[in-house]
Structure formats: C-alpha cells, structure tokens
Chains A and B, each alone.
Chain A
C-alpha cells in the first residue's frame, strides 16, 4: 500500500498535552505532506516539506509543528495551542523534484481524539 506508514492508528490525548504523530516512507520520495480531515470534510494541508531540513506552512499550520531531519521521516507534533485537535490525520508523499507531477500517495492515517 504505497510504502507509507503512520503510527499509532489511534491516539488519545488529554487537553493541554502535546502529542507527536509518526510518518515514515520507504519510497525514496523527496516531498512529504500532512493533512487534516474532519468528519465529512475534505483534506486540509497542515505542512509540507520538499526536501530534508526544509518545510513550509500549509493552510492550517497554527498549533502544529513539524521536522524533517531524515528523508524517510516527517513527524507532526500537535501542540496544546491547537484548539480543536480531534481529527483524522493523513500523511502523504510524492516524488517531488524538478520536472515532476505531484502524484501523492497517502499513509493509513492516525485518528487523534482529545479527551
């Protein structure tokens, strides 16, 4: 299923706590992405990274942080500043680089619930 893994599948968090979601890919893709999906809604871009040690804010970056220290990994931290963190979080990757189309492949997702 595309070589992208996310963990954990389900995550429960108490209000006021930071939590980190894992995303790993073995596709040798340069670009990685984090999306948020609320029930019955579309996909909203949180952050994306075109290359190691570089990342950009998406449409809803407030209350989130990321790092890209390795090509294979793009963890997302949901901070206590995120007011409504309960959602389904999807990681994706694409080949990236010059002269390429943005064919993105998704991980299985992490469902985060704030108690």
Chain B
C-alpha cells in the first residue's frame, strides 16, 4: 500500500517568513495530493490539492509543488501570519481509489 512520509514534524517560523513542508510517497500510481489544515480541536480542512497533470498550484499565500519523478510534493506558505498556526497533513491517493494515505502531520507555529 501507499506510504506517505512528512517532514518536519514541527516547524516554528517568524511572522512574515515562509514555511515549507515536504512529503514523499511510495506508490507511483498515486496522482492526487491534498493538503489539510487542522486547528486545535477542529476538523481538518482541505486547503489545496494538486493532481499529477500539473507541477505547481497556487492559491493566494499557499502553493503546492509536485515532482512525480522523485515522488515528492511540498506545501509552501508565504508571508506567514499567526492564523497559519495549525497542524498540516499531506495525503496521497490514486485516481478511483477510495482511500487516502495521510502523512503524520506538521505542527506549524508562527511567532509574532
């Protein structure tokens, strides 16, 4: 089955700086890569996703890049703000697959 590894497990950044979270996956059939943000005690929220027919996708201050050859994808948050503090999860899935394989999560803390 699919195995998704996520690094780092914790990340502390100064407000205004950028944050980068990296994930690797094992199954070459995977072609859907969502990112979820979970605030303390809340549900995970889908913030951005990328499909294998593109290498990069942006939405305001967040962007995701995908390297299918190397089997890794990354989340980039620019100009971080205190409200970006949360746990971020990456995941991977193949088209028509009903299961998402999640990374272990990255706790991001934005220091004011």
Chain A residues at the B interface, C-beta cutoff of 8 Å: 1, 31, 41-43, 45, 48, 50, 58, 90, 94, 96, 98-109
Can you name 4 extra interface pairs (CB under 8 A) apart from A100-B96, A106-B45, A109-B42?
A: A41-B104, A42-B104, A96-B98, A109-B43
Q: Interface on chain B toward A: helix, strand, loop, or mixed SS? A: loop
Q: Which residue of B lies closest to A30 (CB)?
A: B98
Contact residues in A for B98 (Cβ distance below 8 Å)? 31, 48, 50, 94, 96, 102
How near does chain B come to A44, taking the closest CB pair, in angstroms?
8
Task: Please judge, given known A-B contacts A48-B98, A102-B93, A102-B97, whether A42 and B43 are in contact too, CB under 8 Å.
Answer: no
Chosen A-B contacts, 9 in total, with CB atoms closer than 8 Å, are A1-B43, A43-B89, A43-B102, A50-B98, A101-B49, A102-B97, A102-B98, A107-B43, A109-B42
Which of A42, A58, A99 touches B105 (beta carbons < 8 Å)? Answer: A42
Interface: B68 (CB within 8 A): no
Q: Do B100 and A101 have beta carbons less than 8 Å apart?
A: no
- Within the assembled complex, what's the spacing in Å between the Cα atoms of A42 and B3? 13
What residues of chain B lie closer than 8 Å to A104, measured between beta carbons? 34, 46, 100
Closest to B45 in A: A106
- In Å, the complex CA distance between A42 and B105 comes to 6
Q: Which of B34, B43, B49, B105 contacts A90 (CB 8 A)?
A: B43
Interface of A is mostly: loop
Residues of B within 8 A of A45 (CB): 99
Residues of B within 8 Å of A43, CB to CB, are: 44, 89, 102
Residues of B within 8 A of A99 (CB): 95-96
B7 touches A (CB below 8 Å): no
Cβ 8 A contact of A106, one of B44, B51, B96: B44
- Chain B neighbourhood of A41, CB < 8 A: 104-105
- For the complex, give the distance between the alpha carbons of A106 and B99 in Å: 14
Chain A neighbourhood of B36, CB < 8 A:
106
* A-facing residues in B58-106 (Cβ within 8 Å): 89, 93, 95-100, 102-105
Cβ B49 vs Cβ A103 within 8 A: yes
